[in-house]
Amino acid sequence: MHYHQFAHSQVSYPQAVKELQTLGFLTEIDLENTTPNSLWLNLVAMTFCQAKTPLAKQAYLANLLARPNQTLLEFAANNTLETEAFYAVALQLLGFEVGVDFEVAESLEFMETVGLKSHNQVQTVEELLLAWYDLLELPRKNGQSFLDYLATQGFFLPMYNLPAKKKPQFYNGKSLPIFDTSQLIYEVVYVESDLDTDHDGRRDLLQVQIIRPKDTEAGLRVPAVFTASPYNRGTNPELGQKLTHNVDVPLIRKEPNQVSYQDIHAPHQLPPAPEGRLLNGHSKEATESFDHSFTYSLNNYLLARGFAVVYAAGIGTRGSEGLRTCGSVAETASTTAIIEWLNGKRPAFTDRTSNRAINAWWCNGAVAMTGKSYLGTLANAAATTGVEGLKTIIAEAAISSWYDYYRDGGLVVAPGGFPGEDADVLAGECLSRMKDAGDFLNVQSQAEQTLATIKVQQDRQSGNYNQFWDARNYLNDSAQVKCDVMLVHGLNDWNVKPRNVYNFYKALSKLPIATKLVLHQGQHIYINNFRSLDFNQMVNLWLSNHLYDCQNDAVATLPNVVVQDNVQAEKWHSLEAWEADSNLEVFNFNPKHLTNAKSQGGQVSFKDQLPPADFDHYKQDWTAWKTDLVKEESPLTHNRLLFATDILKEDLTLQGAPRLKLKIKSNQNVGMVSAMLVDLGKAKRLGEVPTVLDRQSLGLGYHWHTEDLVEFTLAQESDFKLISKGHRNLQNRTSLWQNDELEADTFYQVNFDLQPSFYTIPAGRKLGLIIYATDMEMTVRGNQDLTYTLQLEDCQLQFLKHN
Amino acid sequence: MHYHQFAHSQVSYPQAVKELQTLGFLTEIDLENTTPNSLWLNLVAMTFCQAKTPLAKQAYLANLLARPNQTLLEFAANNTLETEAFYAVALQLLGFEVGVDFEVAESLEFMETVGLKSHNQVQTVEELLLAWYDLLELPRKNGQSFLDYLATQGFFLPMYNLPAKKKPQFYNGKSLPIFDTSQLIYEVVYVESDLDTDHDGRRDLLQVQIIRPKDTEAGLRVPAVFTASPYNRGTNPELGQKLTHNVDVPLIRKEPNQVSYQDIHAPHQLPPAPEGRLLNGHSKEATESFDHSFTYSLNNYLLARGFAVVYAAGIGTRGSEGLRTCGSVAETASTTAIIEWLNGKRPAFTDRTSNRAINAWWCNGAVAMTGKSYLGTLANAAATTGVEGLKTIIAEAAISSWYDYYRDGGLVVAPGGFPGEDADVLAGECLSRMKDAGDFLNVQSQAEQTLATIKVQQDRQSGNYNQFWDARNYLNDSAQVKCDVMLVHGLNDWNVKPRNVYNFYKALSKLPIATKLVLHQGQHIYINNFRSLDFNQMVNLWLSNHLYDCQNDAVATLPNVVVQDNVQAEKWHSLEAWEADSNLEVFNFNPKHLTNAKSQGGQVSFKDQLPPADFDHYKQDWTAWKTDLVKEESPLTHNRLLFATDILKEDLTLQGAPRLKLKIKSNQNVGMVSAMLVDLGKAKRLGEVPTVLDRQSLGLGYHWHTEDLVEFTLAQESDFKLISKGHRNLQNRTSLWQNDELEADTFYQVNFDLQPSFYTIPAGRKLGLIIYATDMEMTVRGNQDLTYTLQLEDCQLQFLKHN
Domains of chain B: 13-171 (no CATH), 181-253+283-474+481-575 (3.40.50.1820), 582-690+714-802 (2.60.120.260)
Task: Render pLDDT for A195-240 as a digit per residue (tens, 0 to 9).
Answer: 999 999 999 999 999 999 999 999 999 999 999 999 999 999 999 9
3-state secondary structure of B723: strand
- The predicted structure's pLDDT at residue A29: 86
Nearest CB to A51 within list B238, B287, B434:
B287
Q: B357 CB near a chain A CB, below 8 Å?
A: no
Q: How far is CA A229 from CA A112, A205, A274, A487, in A?
A: 42, 16, 26, 17
Mutate to test the interface with A, among B100, B432, B621 (most CBs of A within 10 A): B100
CA distance B69 to chain A (A): 7
Q: What is the pLDDT of residue A28?
A: 82
In whole numbers, what is the pLDDT of chain A averaged over residues? 97
Residues with Cβ within 8 Å of B543's Cβ and at least 6 positions away in sequence, in order, are B175, B223, B225, B302, B307, B368, B392
Please indicate whether, in this complex, the C-beta atoms of B51 and A99 are within 8 angstroms of each other.
Answer: no
- Residue A291 and residue B441: Cβ atoms within 8 Å? no
C-alpha to C-alpha distances, A574 to A138, A366, A697, A803, B242, nearest whole angstrom? 19, 29, 28, 15, 39
Do the Cβ atoms of A441 and B289 come within 8 Å? no
Q: Parallel, antiparallel, or unpaired for β B582-590 and B796-802?
A: antiparallel
Measured in angstroms, the CA of B704 and the nearest CA of chain A are apart by: 9
Phi, psi of A765 (to 5 degrees): -115, -175
Burial (CB count <10 Å: 0-12, 13-18, 19+), residue A219: exposed
Give the active site residue among B4, B520, B524, B727.
B524
Tally of CA atoms within 13 A in the half-sphere of B645 that contains its CB: 27
- Which A positions 185-244 lie with beta carbon below 8 A of chain B? 186, 188, 236, 238
Annotation marks residue B292 as catalytic: no
Per-residue pLDDT, averaged over B76-84, amounts to 95
Average pLDDT over residues B580-607: 97
The number of C-alpha atoms within 13 Å of B525 and in the hemisphere containing its C-beta is 20
pLDDT score for B803: 87
- Catalytic annotation on B373? yes
Q: Indicate yes or no: CB of A437 within 8 angstroms of CB of B64.
A: yes
Residue B163 confidence (pLDDT): 97
Give the nearest partner residue to B64 out of A58, A353, A438, using CB atoms: A438
Q: How many CB atoms lie within 10 A of CB A92?
A: 25
Residue A349 near chain B (CB below 8 Å): no
Q: What are the chain B neighbours of A99 within 8 Å (beta carbons)?
A: 434, 437
Share of residues in chain B with pLDDT > 90 (%) = 97
Compute the half-sphere exposure of residue B481: CA atoms within 13 Å on the CB side of its CA. 31
Answer whether B789 touches A (CB < 8 Å): no
Question: Hey, are the CB atoms on B71 and A182 less than 8 Å from each other?
Answer: no
Q: What is the pLDDT averaged over residues B529-555?
A: 98
**Tens digit of pLDDT for each residue in A752-770?**
999 999 999 999 999 999 9
pLDDT in the model for residue A796:
98
Nearest to B795 by CA among B756, B732, B751, B757: B751
- CB A104 to CB B354 under 8 A? no
Contact A289 B64 (CB under 8 A): no
Q: Do B153 and A706 touch (CB under 8 A)?
A: no
Q: How confident is the model at residue B424 (pLDDT cuts 50, 70, 90)?
A: very high
| pLDDT tens for each residue of A608-656 | 999 999 999 999 999 999 999 999 999 999 999 999 999 999 999 999 9
Residue B374: strand, helix, or coil: helix
Per the omega criterion (within 30 degrees of 0), is the bond before B612 cis? no
> Please, are residues A406 and A416 in contact by the beta-carbon 8 Å criterion?
no
CB contact under 8 A, B288 and A69: no
Question: Please, which pLDDT band fits residue B234 given cuts at 50, 70 and 90?
Answer: very high
Query: Does residue A663 sit in helix, strand or coil?
Result: strand
**B621-665 tens-digit pLDDT:** 999 999 999 999 999 999 999 999 999 999 999 999 999 999 999
CA gap B70, B65 in Å, rounded: 6
Q: Is the pLDDT of residue B295 over 80?
A: no
The per-residue pLDDT for A264 is: 97
Q: Which amino acid is at B285?
A: E
Helix (H) or strand (E) holding A181: none
* Residue of A287, A318, A349, A708 to mutate for B, most B C-beta atoms under 10 A: A287
Is there a contact between B63 and A436 if contact means CB atoms under 8 Å apart?
Answer: yes
CA distances, A539 to each of A301, A305, A457, A484, A548 (Å): 10, 12, 39, 13, 13
Residue A50 has its nearest CB partner, among B59, B288, B699, at B288
Q: Which amino acid is at B133?
A: Y
Separation CA A432–CA A316 (nearest Å): 7
Per-residue pLDDT tens over the stretch A484-517: 999 999 999 999 999 999 999 999 999 999 999 9
Minimum Cα–Cα distance from B708: chain A residue:
A293
Active site residues of A: 373, 493, 524
Alpha-carbon gap, residue A788 to A773, rounded angstroms: 8
Catalytic residue among B134, B422, B484, B493: B493
Q: Does B437 touch chain A (CB under 8 A)?
A: yes
What pLDDT, in 10s, does the model give residues B99-136?
A: 999 999 999 999 999 999 999 999 999 999 999 999 99
CA dist A564 and A573 (Å) reads 6
The answer to whether the Cβ–Cβ distance between B55 and A92 falls below 8 Å is no
Tell me: ipTM over 0.90. Answer: yes
Q: Are B192 and B315 in contact (CB under 8 A)?
A: no
Q: Which of A152, A289, A438 sits opposite B154 (nearest CB)?
A: A289
Instruction: Categorize the per-residue pLDDT at A161 as very low, low, confident or very high, splitting at 50, 70 and 90.
Output: very high
Tell me the mean pLDDT in the region A662-688.
97
Which of A89, A435, A444, A707 best probes binding to B when mutated, by most B CB atoms within 10 angstroms?
A: A435
* CA dihedral angle for residue B403, residue B409, residue B412, residue B418, rounded to 10 degrees: -70
Q: Select which of B175, B373, B432, B544 is catalytic.
A: B373
Closest CA to A646 of A577, A693, A587, A698: A587
Looking at every residue in chain B, the average pLDDT score rounds to 97
Window B:39-98, CB contacts with A under 8 Å:
50-53, 55-56, 58-59, 62-65, 69, 71-72, 92, 97-98
pLDDT at A491: 98
Q: Please answer yes or no on whether B439 and A152 come within 8 Å at the CB atom.
A: no
- Would the pLDDT of A803 be above 90? no
Tell me the pairing of strands A363-372 and A222-228: parallel
